[in-house]
Amino acid sequence: MNNNSSKSTINLKALALELYSNMGEISAYRKTLDGFERACYQLGIEPSTFKPGRDYQIPTESKEMWMFLIQNIHAIEGKPSKNQYVNFIEDLKDTKEFFDAQHSDLENDTVDSKAFNDSMTLMYEMFYTSSSYGRSLAMSFQNEIQQRIKEDLDYIFNNSPDDRLVLNIEFYCQQVSKKAHEIGKLTRKMIREKWNEK
C-alpha cells in the first residue's frame, strides 16, 4: 500500500492519494498534511510521534479513523459549512459502521491490534458521547428509517395489482408496526430504567 519498508503503516503521501484522488499529488499532500496536523492538535497528540522518517507514518489499522478526521477537520474544530456538517454526520455513521463490521469479523486479525482498538474507541466516543451534533446524528437515523419505509410503500403502491394493493399495504404496515412496537417498548424501558447508568 505504501512505498516504505513497514507493511503495518501508511505514509501521508499514500493516504493523500486515497483521500483526494481528484487533486494533483502536491495539492492533495498539502491538504492531507494540514488536516493531519490539525487533527493531531484536536486529539492532543504531537504529530512528531508519527514521523520516524521523512514523512508521517500512521498504522494501517487506524487508517479509516485518520481519513475521517482529516476529511472532516472543519467540523471537528467546530467551524463547518452546512455541506461540511452534513458530510461529517454521514461520514461519522459510515466510519462507525466500518469499525462495527471489522470488530464483528472473527477472522479479522487487525481487531487485536492496539492501533485498531484505540481508533475504534475514539470513533465510538465521538459517536455516542453527548455533543453538539448528537441530535443531528439522531435525526439522520430517523430520516433514514422514514425514507426506507417511504420507498417500500411507494414500491407496493406502484407495483401491486389493484386487487392486492390493500392486502399488501395492510401486511407491510402490520409487520412494521409490530416490530416498531416491540423495539419501542424495549427502548422506552431502557430510558426509563436508565440502563446507561447500570
pTM: 0.75
What are residue 11's DSSP bridge partners?
Answer: 57
pLDDT score for 7: 55
Chain segment 31-62, per-residue pLDDT in tens: 999 999 999 999 999 998 898 778 899 998 89
pLDDT at 1: 36
| Grid cell digits, residue 45 | 497528540
Low-confidence residues in the chain, pLDDT < 70? 1-7, 106-112, 130, 198
Residue 56, number of CB atoms within 10 A of its CB = 23
Strands 57-59 and 9-11: antiparallel
Whole-angstrom distance, CA of residue 114 vs CA of residue 110 = 9
pLDDT at 110: 65
In the chain the beta strands, taken as DSSP E runs, fall at 9-11, 57-59
The three cell numbers of residue 99 are 469499525
Beta-ladder partners of 87: none
Q: Within a 13 Å sphere around the CA of 80, how many CA atoms are in the beta-carbon half?
A: 18
Q: What is the pLDDT of residue 6?
A: 42
CB contact at 8 A, 108 and 102: yes
